Structure 1
Amino acid sequence: MLPGAGDRGRYNPSILTRIVFLVAATLLLALGAMMLVAFRGPPPHARPMMLVEATGLLRGGTQPPGSWQISRYQSDRAPAPDAGQESNRAGAERIAGLLGVPANAVALIQERPPIGMPRPGPEIEPRPDMGMEFDPGRMMLRGSFALAVREDGRNWTVLLGRQGPNWRWYAITLSLMAGIFILLLLPAYWVARRITQPIRLLAEGAARERPERAEPLPIGGPPEVRAMGIAYNHMRARIADYVSERTAMLVAIAHDLRTPMTRLSFRLEQLPDGPRAKAQADVQEMRAMVTDLLDFMREGTEGRQRARIDLSAIVETLADDLADMGHDVVVTASQRAVIEGDALALRRCIGNMVENAVRYGGSARVCLRVEGSRAIVDVEDSGPGVPPEILDRLCEPFYRGEASRNRETGGVGLGLSIARTIAEGHEGSIGFANRAEGGLRATVILPLDR
């Protein structure tokens, strides 16, 4: 099994996603700990209830602002403290003074303060001897309490108050934490993207059909990524040198073969007519092979001037020229498609496809259409087609889907390879498919010039 073949069905996030996820998880854990510490205690800045506001409720006043939950009822006896509660006689006396009733006619029950926490008393309240004005009505009630007053000598009016959650504080706190999370995550994403950008460029460079033509990768990032980029650039340079040496060698060999073939042609003139014709045909075939080889090798190395051209003009003139030569070539549809490219190279690309259709299918039907930002040229023939398993090999150098090498079909299997090289040099592609009604469809796709 190939490495990683068992992981194809599983989600495999990129390094950028992993880094961002790690930072986000760390931030969430830190913020979660902050929330746990902050929300376990009482919310700060919860508005307490002043004694004067409590006395106002006893007299039928409106509920003061804040998160207080108030209820009242009548009873024939004063409320008694429950577990965790205690009577606050000092507070009851102050409320009695505000109401103008005897002290024994008021009862105040509050939560018992935690162990070690003193209850606010006169010693920590404003005192006149400190130059501070004392106002009993501004004493505060917090948490929960029960306040009862006996006004008719018999029944008690009981007021229960409980301080509810301070939702505004929770909302502000959560909003601040969410803002901190986003503000910290954005630079983390930027840093992670900077770290992984050289790796992405390396993957894009390695995925190119001809990496030796690509520009060297910019070196940056952490030391490990820089070392990988340097190694890739070195490998690309070695591949480029190897391809250049191989191309120069094959071009030199093919070029040098023309001289002995020319001498051989002169010597064949001395043969009788019958053997001479066959020998000259062999020499012509050798010359065609050498010419194809030279064209194939030079097509990937020579750079030509490019300009805006109308692809429909190339298709139509090419079809007319081949039709004048007696070939069954017809343009079924042609739309205006302006692209930037080399007119001679594109004519050779489409011409090789059309000649291949005529050679093996007997005819060619050419259709040029525009879809979105692409120009698509379809070349269809009426031949027998090719087996599906060899469709992907039709553009391989020296490969021929038609097994024979007679003079009727000719060629050495470089025509479609040259066409693919030209199409890819124009940022396009070539594909093949068998037609349902019979024959082969060759398609070249090229980007429009916008």
Structure 2
Amino acid sequence: MNTLRAKITALLVASVLLVILAATGLSFLLLKPPRLSEIDESIAAQWGLVAELAARGPLPASMQGEFIGLHDDEPAGVIVENPTNGINEALARNGRAERIIVKDGAGSPWPVVAGQLADGRWLLLPLAMPPGPKNGGWALAGWALLIAIGTTLVIVVAVRRLTEPLALLERTVATLGPDGELEPLPEAGPTEVRAAARAINLLSTRLKRAMESRIRMVAAAGHDLRTPMTRMRLRAEFLDEEERANWIADLDELDRIADSAIRVVREEVERSSRTRLRLDELVSEVVAELDAIGLDIHLTASTPASVVGRPLALRRAIRNLAINAATHGHKARIRVEAGYGRAGVVIEDEGPGIPEELLARVFEPFFRIDAVKNAPLPGAGLGLAIAREIITGNDGTLELRNGPRGGLVQRIGLPTVITS
């Protein structure tokens, strides 16, 4: 519900209902209720007139009926106190000695004014005012509910129509893939929606071109570095042994940087097709490969897990992380976990870990912890950046944290697939 569309709808509905409530309250204040005392006076006058006619002789046949005229017995029903007291007070003010009662529910559709005359007979007159509705409260509640529902429906439809371009933008951003590319949107529907879709498609095309241009520039720069570096290697051969060793070390460092930059570019442009693979088998092969070249790395636990991804790219990412652990952390321990639709590769080492204030920067290209500590080790500072690029490109996650007993914990998370 925490969306712009929901907030606008709630604001408009609340505003309209508040206006309706204020208008209804003002209407009740301005519309004066009927003056009951004047009604009582009118009924008392009618009663006196008919009573005098009855005292002089028989009433006309038109004034005789089941609930009107002269009757021998008191009518049945429930006495209504307020009109009874009001009419009796009006009779007293007019100087009449008779007293009446107003009864309701005696089978008559109207309340009945009944009073006993001097000869013992009962004079019955229908009350001139019809009774109020018995379900007035429910009628008012139904009226308010109908207003609320109708207003809400109209506002929801209007807001949805007006905010559809914003909703389209929100849905598009939500479907943004890990590679940063947007799927083309159909330019159909109302004018506003078509204009929004056209703008988003144009933005996506321009962003893609800009990213590809930058990638090509990085690839070209990395590739062009190889030629002067080769010439510098040849010239270094003519230096004395100590100077040659320093030059060769610096050139090796430049070569690693250029090679890492080119590999980053390849991950962006060479998106191989995804296939189903066994993550536990892939990790086991990487561990065996690195152990064969002398790195202290072991597979401590392995749970069978199948994922969908790019095998070569995932192998490169896991190898980078394992080499980091074995090189900077002295010793690497790897395990493969699976459960609840996720597979995980956990790589732990016994190194000094990473300072908490630097954890947020470890994925920055060319950022090296050893450079901060003034303890240079081989590498270009792109291993973690490449690994995260590969893993996120395979719909996965990469998290780094310091272990509770020291060392660094690297955790890869990937969605699993059900094996048939």
TM-score by length of 2: 0.69
Give % identity: 33
CA contact (8 A) 1:361 1:384 kept: yes
1:448 match: 416
CA contact (8 A) 1:365 1:381 kept: yes
1:178 match: 145
Equivalences for residues 383-402 of structure 1 within 5 A: 383-402=351-370
CA contact (8 A) 1:20 1:188 kept: no
SS of equivalent residue, structure 1 residue 85: helix
Equivalences for residues 316-395 of structure 1 within 5 A: 316-395=284-363
CA contact (8 A) 2:68 2:124 kept: no
1:123 match: none
> What is the CA–CA distance in structure 2 between the aligned matches of 1:216 and 1:303, rounded to whole Å?
19
2:7 match: 17
SS of equivalent residue, structure 2 residue 404: coil
Displacement of 1:318 in angstroms is: 1.5
> 1:430 and 1:101, CA in 2 relative to 1: closer, same or farther beyond 3 A?
closer
2:371 match: 403
Equivalences for residues 18-417 of structure 1 within 5 A: 18-23=8-13, 25-26=15-16, 29-30=19-20, 82-83=40-41, 85-86=43-44, 87-88=46-47, 89=50, 98=66, 141-142=109-110, 144-148=111-115, 163=131, 165-167=133-135, 171=138, 174-175=141-142, 178=145, 181-182=148-149, 185-186=152-153, 188-203=155-170, 213-216=181-184, 233-265=201-233, 279-403=247-371, 409-417=377-385
For 1:198, the aligned partner's letter is: P
Bigger Cα displacement from structure 2, 382-391 vs 182-191: 182-191
> What is the CA–CA distance in structure 2 between the aligned matches of 1:241 and 1:388, rounded to whole Å?
37
> What is the CA–CA distance in structure 2 between the aligned matches of 1:101 and 1:188, rounded to whole Å?
58
Bigger Cα displacement from structure 2, 334-343 vs 259-268: 259-268
2:90 match: none
Q: How big is the alpha-carbon RMSD for the aligned residues of Structure 1 and Structure 2?
A: 4.8
> What is the CA–CA distance in structure 2 between the aligned matches of 1:338 and 1:176, rounded to whole Å?
60
SS of equivalent residue, structure 2 residue 366: coil
For 1:423, the aligned partner's letter is: I
Bigger Cα displacement from structure 2, 243-252 vs 102-111: 102-111
For 1:352, the aligned partner's letter is: N
Displacement of 1:372 in angstroms is: 2.9
> 1:210 and 1:100, CA in 2 relative to 1: closer, same or farther beyond 3 A?
closer
CA contact (8 A) 2:284 2:299 kept: yes
Provide the aligned length of Structure 1 versus Structure 2: 373
Bigger Cα displacement from structure 2, 96-105 vs 261-270: 96-105
CA contact (8 A) 2:72 2:122 kept: no
Displacement of 1:334 in angstroms is: 2.9
| Structure 1 gap ranges (5+) | 1-10, 43-80, 113-138
Which structure carries more helix by proportion?
Answer: 2
Bigger Cα displacement from structure 2, 346-355 vs 95-104: 95-104
CA contact (8 A) 2:352 2:408 kept: yes
> 1:338 and 1:263, CA in 2 relative to 1: closer, same or farther beyond 3 A?
same
SS of equivalent residue, structure 2 residue 409: strand
SS of equivalent residue, structure 1 residue 370: strand
For 2:402, the aligned partner's letter is: N
Bigger Cα displacement from structure 2, 23-32 vs 308-317: 23-32
CA contact (8 A) 1:391 1:433 kept: yes
TM-score by length of 1: 0.65
Displacement of 1:367 in angstroms is: 3.1
CA contact (8 A) 1:96 1:105 kept: no
For 1:444, the aligned partner's letter is: I
SS of equivalent residue, structure 1 residue 292: helix
1:119 match: none
> What is the CA–CA distance in structure 2 between the aligned matches of 1:100 and 1:306, rounded to whole Å?
95
CA contact (8 A) 1:394 1:400 kept: yes
CA contact (8 A) 1:311 1:339 kept: yes
For 1:346, the aligned partner's letter is: L
Q: C-alpha deviations, 1:335-355, integer Å up to 9, x for none?
A: 333222111111112221221
CA contact (8 A) 2:286 2:319 kept: yes
